[in-house]
């Protein structure tokens, strides 16, 4: 079982330039924890002081915003992609 976490350019200064990492995480929360364990410099950019995902960081599981799923508890299956998008713009 392997999923991919896709890392936006803004995060890559903390990931030694890596655009994605593979993980064996079973939930979105585990995937984010894997990412920040591997690259501790990212921790404070992913979660705020209360431990919540930062308000302006959007997390998607494949095509869907995790807020329309089970949030961080959303289960992952083999081949899933977790996508981080800082500050969605538009409007």
Partner 1 sequence: MKEIHYLRCRECGKKFANAPQSFCEECFAPLEVSYDYDALRRVANREALRDRAFNMWRYSEFLPLPDGFVPSAAIGGTPLVKSRKFAERLGIKNLYFKNDAVCFPTLSFKDRVVATALVAARRFGFDTIGCSSTGNLANAVAAQGTQQGFETCVFVPADLEPVKILNSAVYGARIIRINGNYDHVNRLCTQIADKFRWGLVNVNLRPYYAEGSKTHGFEIAEQLGWELPDNVVVPMAGGSLIGKIAKAFCELAHLGWVEPKQVRFFGAQATGCSPISDGVKRELSRVQPQKPNTIARSLAIGNPADGPFALRLIRESGGWAEDLSDPEIIDSIKLLAETEGIFGETAGGVTAGVAAKLVEQGRISRDESTVVCITGNGLKTTDAIAADFPVQDAIEPRLEAFESLLEQHLQRTAGAPAQETHV
CA distance 83 to 91: 21
Judged by CB, which is closer to partner 1: 1, or 67?
Answer: 67
Judged by CB, which is closer to partner 1: 65, or 72?
Answer: 65
Q: In the bound complex, what is the minimum distance in angstroms from residue 14's beta carbon to partner 1?
A: 11
Q: In the bound complex, what is the minimum distance in angstroms from residue 68's beta carbon to partner 1?
A: 7
Q: Which residue ranges make up the site for partner 1 (CB under 8 A)?
A: 8-10, 45, 54-58, 60, 63, 65, 67-68, 85-91
CA distance 84 to 81: 10
Q: Is 78 exposed, middle or buried (CB count within 10 Å of its CB: 0-12, 13-18, 19+)?
A: exposed
Query: Taking the CA of residue 54 as centre, how many other CA atoms within 13 Å lie in the half-sphere pointing to its CB?
Result: 15
Q: In the bound complex, what is the minimum distance in angstroms from residue 71's beta carbon to partner 1?
A: 11
């Amino acid at each position: 079982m392997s999923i991919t976490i896709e890392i936006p350019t803004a995060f890559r200064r903390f990931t030694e330039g890596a655009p994605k990492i593979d993980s064996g995480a079973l939930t979105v929360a585990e995937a984010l924890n894997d990412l920040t364990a591997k690259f501790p410099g990212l921790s404070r950019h992913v979660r705020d002081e209360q431990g919540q995902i930062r308000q302006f960081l959007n997390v998607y599981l494949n095509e869907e915003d995790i807020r329309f799923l089970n949030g961080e508890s959303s289960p992952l299956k083999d081949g899933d992609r977790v996508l981080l998008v800082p500050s969605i713009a538009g409007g």
